[in-house]
Amino acid sequence: MASNGEKQSAATKAPPAPSPLRTSKFCQPNMRILITGGAGFIGSHLVDRLMENEKNEVIVVDNYFTGSKDNLRKWISHPRFELIRHDVTEPLLVEVDQIYHLACPASPIFYKHNPVKFLCIRFFKFESGNGYIDGQIIEAQNALPMILLTSTSEVYGDPLIHPQPETYWGNVNPIGVRSCYDEGKRVAETLMFDYHRQHGIEIRVARIFNTYGPRMNIDDGRVVSNFIAQALRDEPLTVQAPGTQTRSFCYVSDMVDGLIRLMEGEHTGPINLGNPGEFVEPSTPQTGEFTMLELAETVKELINPDVKIVTVENTPDDPRQRKPDITKAKELLGWEPKIKLREGLPLMEEDFRLRLGVPKK
Ligand SMILES: NC(=O)c1ccc[n+]([C@@H]2O[C@H](COP(=O)([O-])OP(=O)(O)OC[C@H]3O[C@@H](n4cnc5c(N)ncnc54)[C@H](O)[C@@H]3O)[C@@H](O)[C@H]2O)c1
Ligand SMILES: O=c1ccn([C@@H]2O[C@H](COP(=O)(O)OP(=O)(O)O[C@H]3OC[C@@H](O)[C@H](O)[C@H]3O)[C@@H](O)[C@H]2O)c(=O)[nH]1
């Protein structure tokens, strides 16, 4: 039995020191960040970059429709990282400071698979008072999180103005087979701005132009991944007719840099992020805008000079030209891409060789 003296000293004893875990860097995140679609191509590179900052805690929500846990392998079981299998068309309560919303099938062959559902994925419905976003995400008791939408150059449709500035309203077919994607993203942009105006929600809208790099789904169906996989498999490169349609390709590390600058900056956007190729010195003329025939020739030259190039049928409403005007990104975010196509393709080739098991000869 304890004596009176012992009881007294127990009563006046200082409370035990808090667990050292509470003061560890892992338990004091300055920023809790949610990335929807973080197991996908761009999302997983964004995770890598955000995890470099020890003050960030990153939560990924993904249903693995086109993404894969493999893309996040190095972070699984990291104390500052969480991965949740979840379909963002169902509500989910999570308390976070920032949301990067990427979840959305992005390749035409995937988004045409279930257009009605995929149109809905692009919608947001916030209820400001209780911090609830129906069909998407979020619970925040105090302040609602800042949310960045990854919109697309597809909002310009088959553009009649070239290159495309953010002020261009676009030329979109509202009832075509691509409409679930481009009209869906247009509505998502509308909702973002209406919630911003009506409820004061802090928003950021990025209009992403064609982005490529390691970790693209090998059978994704988009042009750069198709051509590289075909070149490595010794299959003909399938240029969809007429082959004179153009795209401007941005390497994924540049894109991730742009997205983070947009989130951290003070401008809602919409802001174009893409690679118009303007940074190239006049002495080595090269544009960031390529016809699909030129892209096929470049892949052939760099990866497999023996491969054939064939022309195949195209799908309806394929935009004939696309190149971003990035004046706004340069001025407001101090951002411009650094990696040229000829530098980025070999980095992607390396990753595809590893995954396809095709060593370099
Ligand atoms: N890559 C580009 O060229 C490009 C261009 C413009 C816009 N974007 C946009 O950027 C975002 C990412 O594109 P990406 O190229 O990384 O594509 P991706 O297909 O590799 O990534 C999309 C991710 O979202 C996940 N996802 C899809 N539906 C979901 C759902 N209902 N619930 C939870 N997760 C879901 C997928 O599993 C995948 O991991 C997309 O919103 C896309 O529209 C991409
Ligand atoms: O094997 C192929 C695939 C595609 N193409 C052509 O390559 C061009 C680019 O097609 P992709 O499917 O890669 O990409 P798109 O430009 O049509 O749309 C893309 O850009 C905007 C993003 O929001 C979307 O994620 C993505 O679908 C098109 O003209 C298409 O006809 C080929 O020539 N061969």
Q: What mean pLDDT comes out for the span 311-336? A: 96
The model's pLDDT over 178-188, given as tens digits with 9 standing for 90+, comes to 898 899 899 88
Q: Looking at 100, 156, 181, 195, which residue is catalytic?
A: 181
The model's pLDDT over 61-81, given as tens digits with 9 standing for 90+, comes to 999 999 999 999 999 999 999
The model's pLDDT over 102-135, given as tens digits with 9 standing for 90+, comes to 998 877 676 666 666 555 454 444 433 333 333 3
For the record, the structure tokens of 122 come out as: 């692009």
Position with higher pLDDT, 19 vs 288: 288
Ligand 2 pocket test: pick from 173, 218, 292 the residue with the most ligand atoms within 8 Å of its Cβ. 292
Q: What mean pLDDT comes out for the span 46-53? A: 98
3 pLDDT higher than 90? no
Cα of 100 vs centre of ligand 1, distance in Å, is 11
Domains and CATH numbers, the chain: 27-356 (3.40.50.720)
140 pLDDT higher than 50? no
CA-to-CA dists, residue 236 to 48, 99, 221, 246, 302, angstroms: 34, 41, 14, 20, 15
**CA dist., res. 86 & res. 66, Å (int):** 13
The model's pLDDT over 188-219, given as tens digits with 9 standing for 90+, comes to 899 899 889 988 889 999 999 999 999 999 98
Q: What is the pLDDT of residue 136?
A: 43
Which residues have C-beta atoms less than 6 Å from ligand 2? 106-108, 152-154, 210, 222-223, 226, 238-240, 245, 247, 292, 314, 318
Ligand index nearest the alpha carbon of residue 90: 1
**CA dist., res. 270 & res. 83, Å (int):** 29
Atom 4 of ligand 2, residue of closest alpha carbon:
223
**CA dist., res. 45 & res. 64, Å (int):** 16
Pairing of strands 289-291, 56-62: unpaired
Atom 28 of ligand 2, residue of closest alpha carbon:
318
The answer to whether residues 30 and 50 touch, using CB atoms and an 8 Å cutoff, is: no
Atom 11 of ligand 2, residue of closest alpha carbon:
222
Return the percentage of the chain with pLDDT > 90, whole number.
68
Ligand 2 pocket test: pick from 113, 182, 240 the residue with the most ligand atoms within 8 Å of its Cβ. 240
| Residue 107 parent element (H or E) | none
Examine the residue annotation and report whether 181 is marked as an active-site residue of this protein: yes
pTM: 0.89
Sole residue written with tokens 């096929």: 296
- The answer to whether the CB of 252 is under 6 A from ligand 1 is no
Asked if the bond preceding 145 is cis, omega within 30° of 0, the reply is: no
- The answer to whether the CB of 104 is under 6 A from ligand 1 is yes
240 pLDDT higher than 50? yes
Asked if the bond preceding 105 is cis, omega within 30° of 0, the reply is: no
- The answer to whether the CB of 105 is under 6 A from ligand 1 is yes
